[in-house]
Amino acid sequence: MSSKPLRPYTPWALTTLLALSLALTAGCSSKTRYATPAVGSNCFAKAVPTTGEGGLAWGNTLSIARQKSMNNCIRYASRSGGTPRTCQVVMAKCKN
């Protein structure tokens, strides 16, 4: 019975691939998944549907924040099996 010896670079290649994949995974895991307000955005609005998930958004003006929150509400309500046509802004404020 003859067996082929492993090539000398096979363990190094596997180790390198493993290290590379771990490094890429570790780099991506620290990313924030939630939108943070832009610098200078001091107005926010929250829109919710009758069923499903709503949306919170920040903007430079109250009208921009309201529009963004409605868009987010429609998007998230659709994804969560809710009713996107029933989205309404329930809170909108600007910080001083």
Q: pTM here?
A: 0.57
Structural domain of 52: 43-94
Domain total for the chain?
1
Residue 23 lies in a domain: no
The predicted pLDDT at position 59 comes to: 92
| pLDDT tens digits in sequence order for the chain, 96 residues long | 566 665 666 666 667 766 656 555 555 554 445 555 556 689 999 999 998 888 899 999 999 999 999 999 999 998 888 888 999 999 999 987
Residue 6 lies in a domain: no
Residue 15 lies in a domain: no
Q: Contact at 8 Å (CB) between 77 and 83? A: yes
* All residues at 6 or more sequence positions from 59 whose CB lies less than 8 Å from its CB, including other chains: 41, 43, 44, 45, 65, 66, 67, 68
- CA 90 centroid distance within chain: 23
Residue 9 lies in a domain: no
Tokens of 7: 């090539």
Residue 79 lies in a domain: yes
